[in-house]
Amino acid sequence: MDVDTHTPNRTRYPDDGMDGATRSRRRRVVEAVAFVAVWVAAGYLLRLSSNAYLLLGIPLTAAFQALVRRRPVRELFASGTTRFALTGKGAALAAVLAATPAYYGVRAVGERDWATVGWYAAAMGGAAAAAFSLRASSVATTVRDAARPIAVGAGGFATVYGVLHVATGAPLPAAAALGALVKYTALYFPATFLLEEVAFRGAVDAHVHHDGESRGWASAVFVSALWGLWHLPVSSGFPLPARVAELLLVHVVMGVWLSFAWRRTRNLAAPALAHAVNDAVRNATMLGL
């Protein structure tokens, strides 16, 4: 094993009574809202592209983890670990996961699209974090805990876009769809370890909901709603009220299960894999429309 761990891997927090617990939860909720609000405001004020908006989250999430949560950065990827280390199989796994974003990153350099180059570089860095998480858990556990959010998210996307293909008569190019599924899963899985999932599950969900607290569903819905609203600066196409409603519906439906996948093990591998597969299925089934 490349990662030293101890058990149990769930963090315990002191019980300071009902009033203290309520105040603590309210404070954590306010801090989570403030974190997302700063990110959203920066997206609007700086008029960032979608890739630049995602990259801004890296320093913001690291600062939130270190200054607000006061927890080690490694716990964003796998709670309960004692150090971040990759040797042997872990380093080889990181190299494999970094290969696809490295290939596309080199191509982006030639096009001088620096925000996109940064996104691929983040995905390459995320490959090390992904390998760390996988080595702290197991592939079987990751697949098991990713299964339900994949069934909800990928199943929903496949159904919606499948109906659109039938309704419009637009054919779905099977070979291109399969290629897109493989490509985007390989890109998005390591990318989420330094971009979306690390922020909304590794940081925000871990901050808002502590093990042993009640109202787990409510907190998962709350975190997922924040995740949906976070997309506003880089979303378009509908009037604002309709956009808000769409973002909340889609991201609450998917996000609740991503939160539960994270909470089961406090390991980012399962929600990151589910997120990657869901987005890959969305991209694949949209082809031809």
| Nearest of 40, 58, 55, 60 to residue 234 by alpha carbon | 40
Structural domain of 150: 18-77+139-286
Q: What percent of the chain has pLDDT over 70?
A: 94
Query: Domain for residue 129, yes or no?
Result: no
Instruction: Judge whether residue 108 has pLDDT over 50.
Output: yes
Query: Domain for residue 272, yes or no?
Result: yes
Query: Domain for residue 127, yes or no?
Result: no
Query: Domain for residue 89, yes or no?
Result: no
Residue 22's pLDDT is 83
| Nearest of 283, 261, 15, 19 to residue 141 by alpha carbon | 261
Residue 14's pLDDT is 46
How far is residue 230's CA from residue 224's CA, in Å, rounded to a whole number?
Answer: 10
Name the most confidently modeled range: 4-18, 101-115, 181-195, 205-219.
Answer: 181-195
Q: What percent of the chain has pLDDT over 90?
A: 85
- pLDDT tens-place string over residues 126-135: 999 999 999 9
| Nearest of 82, 36, 202 to residue 130 by alpha carbon | 202
Query: Domain for residue 154, yes or no?
Result: yes
CA quadruple 156, 157, 160, 166: dihedral, nearest 10: -130
Query: Domain for residue 5, yes or no?
Result: no
Residues 6+ apart with CB under 8 A from 56: 39, 42, 43, 46, 48
Residue 5's pLDDT is 38
What Cα–Cα distance (Å) separates residue 148 from each residue in 5, 11, 136, 153?
26, 24, 21, 9
Query: Domain for residue 249, yes or no?
Result: yes
- pLDDT tens-place string over residues 1-54: 334 333 334 444 444 445 778 889 999 999 999 999 999 999 999 999 999 999
Query: Domain for residue 84, yes or no?
Result: no
Total tally of structural domains belonging to the chain: 1
DSSP for 238-279, please give it.
Answer: S-HHHHHHHHHHHHHHHHHHHHHHHHHHTBTHHHHHHHHHHH
Q: Give me the chain's average pLDDT, please.
A: 92
